[in-house]
Amino acid sequence: MFKSQAAGWLWFCMSKKSKVSISTKGVNTIMKTKILLMLALVLTLVLAASAPPLASADSPVVPFKGTYHGVPVAKFDPECICVKQTFEFDGQATHLGESHFSATGTVYQGPPMWQFGEGTFIADNGDKLYWKFDGTGEFLPGGLVDFWGDYWITGGTGRFVDVTGEGTYSGTATAAPSPNAWGIISFYGKLYK
């Protein structure tokens, strides 16, 4: 009936059928406070002992976040009246450590701007996570573009076999090719085993 012997004992002591009682008659206020604190401590320990364990590293859901820097390459494609992108960025992510990120994407400049594509995260040991993305963005003064959206992890290799996931991404990059082109992108989400 009870998750632990301590919980059963506490119920027994507190029930009306119990002959055990705690009387504070004739006890000063300081002593009453100590007794109440002790009861609160016992109750806290009982509840903590019967609580389910917290998620561990072996949990089927783990957080995922990363940040990558690099030079995006974008070329206008007159056939689709869109911009074709390639990304080769380096950075760091949870569960990947120092790693490489590559992707190809298509951007319809809108309004509203729409971007979609797919890519790969590659850990130093060669294990991979495959992902797809769909999002939007806006041009900023100074030749920059902010972009953001959703991504989905669709599988992987090595320790990431059968891993899926989802989350959001956001970043900033130079909007046009230049000798000083740069980009940064961050990912926040979860991986599922």
Whether 106 contacts 116, CB under 8 Å: yes
Residue 138: the pLDDT is: 94
Going from N- to C-terminal start, the domains of the chain cover 5-50, 61-192
Biggest alpha carbon distance in the chain? 92
61-192 maps to CATH 2.40.350:
yes
Write the CA distances from 50 to 8, 9, 10, 37, 39, integer angstroms.
11, 13, 13, 20, 17
pLDDT above 80 (res 80): yes
Between 39 and 157, name the one with better pLDDT: 157
Residue 53: the pLDDT is: 41
* Residues near 107 by beta carbon (within 8 Å), at least 6 away in sequence: 74, 82, 83, 84, 85, 113, 114, 115, 137
pLDDT tens-digit profile of 57-75? 456 899 999 999 999 988 9
Between 144 and 179, name the one with better pLDDT: 144
pLDDT tens-digit profile of 4-47? 444 444 444 444 444 545 555 555 667 666 665 565 555 455 44
> Quick one: average pLDDT of 75-102?
94
Helix locations, the chain, DSSP H: 5-14, 29-50
| Mean of all residue pLDDT scores within the chain | 81
Whether 3 contacts 11, CB under 8 Å: no
Bond from prior residue into 111 cis (ω within 30 degrees of 0): yes
Residue with tokens 């911009």: 83
Helix locations, 15-120, DSSP H: 29-50
Whether 81 contacts 101, CB under 8 Å: no
